Amino acid sequence: MLGEFLQYLFSGLTTGATYALVGLGFAIIYNASHVINFAQGEFVMIGGMGTVMMMAAGVPMPLAVLGAVALAVIAGVALDKLAIERARDADIVPLIIITIGASLFLRGLAQYFWGKSYHSLPAFTGDEPLKVLGATLLPQSLWVLGVAAVLLVALAFFFNRTLKGKAMLAVSHNKDASRMVGINPRFILMLAFALSAALGAVAGIVSAPITLTSYDVGIMLGLKGFVAAVLGGLGSAVGAVIGGLLLGIMEAMAAGYISSDYKDAVPFVIILLVLFFLPSGLFGKRGTERV
């Protein structure tokens, strides 16, 4: 019994940690611009596929990982500079539609240059599963959870202890006022895109050895990451992480204890309930009170 429960929990935590990282990316860009960036899933894809392709070209893994993150950051900054910034006078909805277009464009490029088939990455530290109280856990799952935890601590440090991070929070609260104290919102927005692209790419890389990767993984991961961000309260970093982990665990528990047929429905039913009764998400309210 305990073994079963733990197995579902591990499975849920692993997928949940990926959702959490994607959700964090949504939260950061939403904070800086109130735009929901639907190309977030494509950053995840660029991370995984970029690493696969560079390794296939003979680049050693650590360099390929750095290269793929850099590639995603370039794509993120380009999306901001070439599309979002040029349309900065537009309302939020056209900007969101621009990100949908960008996601289709990036997916098309990946399909054209990298092909349509699935690829896997080697696990960072071997495939030998660890046994814990009757359940098994892949070392790679620990990597996913560990990297997510480290990134979360680093982000907390960035937002609360550095000038750039505080500037980003200031812009999220009041753009005009922050401009008056000498913050350049355009630079902050670019920084937000670069940061969330890097986060997405890292999520794509650490999860690729478990989930496999292809040009279209971003569709599903982007959607689940968005659900995680909404569940936790849009714009809240802690909320996105907890929302992601909850979503992953709920899916695994539903598959294990209820029925694998209805597994995909459970998180969406729960998010409907959250939106009905807690429209600002689990942690959203606290975020707005911070002003």
What are the residues binding other proteins (CB under 8 A)? Answer: 4, 7-8, 10-11, 14-15, 18, 117-120, 127, 129, 131, 136, 138, 207, 210-212, 214, 217, 219-220, 252-253, 255-256, 260-261, 263-264
Least Å distance, CB 225 to other proteins, is 13
- Is the Cβ of residue 31 or residue 207 nearer to other proteins in the bound state? 207
Which value, in Å, is the radius of gyration of the alpha carbons in the chain? 19
Least Å distance, CB 14 to other proteins, is 7
Instruction: Choose among 143, 279, 126: nearest CA to 207.
Output: 143
Element (H or E) spanning 77, and its range?
Answer: helix 61-79
In 80-184, where does DSSP find H-type helix?
92-114, 139-161, 163-173, 175-180
Q: Compute CA distances 245 → 12, 17, 55, 228, whole Å.
A: 7, 6, 30, 8
- Is the Cβ of residue 79 or residue 119 nearer to other proteins in the bound state? 119
Least Å distance, CB 267 to other proteins, is 12
Least Å distance, CB 184 to other proteins, is 40
- Is the Cβ of residue 225 or residue 287 nearer to other proteins in the bound state? 225
Show the tokens assigned to 118: 């699935």
- Is the Cβ of residue 4 or residue 97 nearer to other proteins in the bound state? 4
Q: At 273, give phi and psi (nearest 5°).
A: -60, -45
- Is the Cβ of residue 3 or residue 94 nearer to other proteins in the bound state? 3
Least Å distance, CB 71 to other proteins, is 22
Q: Compute CA distances 189 → 32, 84, 169, 203, whole Å.
A: 6, 9, 11, 21
Least Å distance, CB 144 to other proteins, is 11
Rounded to whole angstroms, the Cα distance separating 210 from 22 reads 16
- Is the Cβ of residue 178 or residue 207 nearer to other proteins in the bound state? 207
Element (H or E) spanning 132, and its range?
Answer: strand 130-132
